[in-house]
Amino acid sequence: MKKILISIILTLFFISCGDQEQNKMTPVNIYMYGGSQEINNFMDNIIAPKLEKEHSIALNRVPISNIKDILNKLIVEKEAGKTTGTIDVLWVNGENFKVLKDSNVLWKNFIGELSNLKYVKESTYQKDFGEDILGLEAPWGESQFNFIYNDSSNKNIKPFSDATSLMEYAKNNPGKFTYPTVIDHTGNAFVRNIALDILGYKNVLAMDNETFKLELDKVWSYFNNLSPYLWRKGETYPEGEGKIDSMFFNGELDIAMGYTINKVNSKIEAGLFPPTSKSFLLDKGTLFNNHYLTIPGNSPNKERALITINYLISPEAQLLKQDPKNWGDFTVINLETISTELKKEFGKFLDNDNLPTSQELSEKRIEELSPDKLKIIQEGWLEYVGKKNN
């Protein structure tokens, strides 16, 4: 009987110790776009276990369907004087970063506390869509808009190379091409790319906002002429990049698109794209930007948020992220700051037959427009294209 009692006591003791260890795990809530199966799996099954094992952090990924709701939440909390919120880390860039910056809801100059910043390209933490970063967000990855087609004939011929040849392609293949609306970040990027292709990047940079609005009439005319040849004749649009991807996989569409440079290999690895899929760019170039992680001023756990971001920008985590088996997102690491051996590991993912060459990617980078011009494009499309064709 004594042995049984001792056994029970020891069991309860170890359970109690286990509970105490579990309680030591610090939760970090990371709010981020949740529409990518590959990204979700990467964060949940690769990053989260690493943070748990190495830093006793319980990473809680909170999917975002509409980033505007998160912006409003932080602004309202700031106005209400709520000093302890629920968001520890937020994935953001561009015009959304500007809104947060202007609203003074972000933790000041936190990137100076990141020891792994020494490995990161300095250019990536200077400006975001032309907006001074001022230490308010840390770079996480590089993105360049690209298109994907199924090269089943192995002829390596791009379906189109600019706005004009895209129109011809759509006319010759009615119903086999489309894009999300500008409310979606992928659809917005596509519309911006075509606008810049038609008007010219340098020309647009030189325009003031009023001139830009007038010049965009040519772009809206183009999209209205394109609409009858789109999937469902442009009367409706897929809700996002994920839907485009699945329609491409099942052959309903000829073209997929997105910002992740190595997306094509990531999708092939996952069995979600045909193995003969290839990525391509427009001849005049495609939009390039960095995406970032930031910490709200009312984050309930800033110290652990810092540790989380510091790990995510480390060479180890960046290499895991660039592997197409995991995500395929290109790194922000300055390869000159790491060992020759590690540099070779990154190099394995840079040049691939399914991708444009590193040189082409570099030569065809178009910097993002200012948030003001982005807003003009979004509002213009909704007014002159979206309403007209729905």
Q: Averaging pLDDT over each range in 121-130, 199-208, 341-350, which range is the top one?
A: 199-208
Q: Is the pLDDT of residue 160 over 60?
A: yes
pLDDT digits (tens, 9 = 90+) for 183-214: 888 999 999 999 999 999 999 999 999 999 99
Is residue 199 within a helix (H) or strand (E), and if so which, with residue range?
Answer: helix 185-199
249: buried, middle or exposed (CB in 10 Å: 19+, 13-18, 0-12)?
A: middle
Enter the tokens of residue 35: 């529409």
Average pLDDT score over residue span 78-104: 95
- Which superfamily, per CATH, for 2-141+290-352? Periplasmic binding protein-like II (3.40.190.10)
pLDDT at 205: 94
Please answer whether residues 46 and 326 qualify as being in contact, where contact means their C-beta atoms are separated by less than 8 angstroms. Answer: yes
Overall average pLDDT of the 270-296 stretch:
96
Confidence of residue 347 (pLDDT cuts 50, 70, 90): confident
The tens digit of pLDDT for each residue in 284-325 reads 999 999 999 999 999 999 999 999 999 999 999 999 999 989
* CATH annotation of 144-288+366-386: 3.40.190.10
Domain map (residue ranges) of the chain: 2-141+290-352, 144-288+366-386
Q: Specify the pLDDT at position 10.
A: 42
| 144-288+366-386 has the same fold as 2-141+290-352 | yes
Question: What integer is the mean pLDDT of 106-113?
Answer: 95
Average pLDDT over every residue of 53-68 = 95
What would the two tokens of residue 332 be?
């922000």
Long-range contact set of residues 241-249: C-beta below 8 Å, sequence gap at least 24: 241/35, 241/36, 241/180, 241/184, 241/185, 241/186, 242/35, 242/36, 242/37, 243/180, 244/178, 244/179, 244/180, 244/186, 245/272, 245/273, 246/272, 248/148, 248/150, 248/273, 249/273, 249/274
Give the confidence band of 36 by pLDDT, cuts at 50, 70, 90.
Answer: confident
Whether residue 17 is predicted with pLDDT greater than 60 in this model: the reply is no
318: phi then psi, degrees, rounded to nearest 5: -65, -35
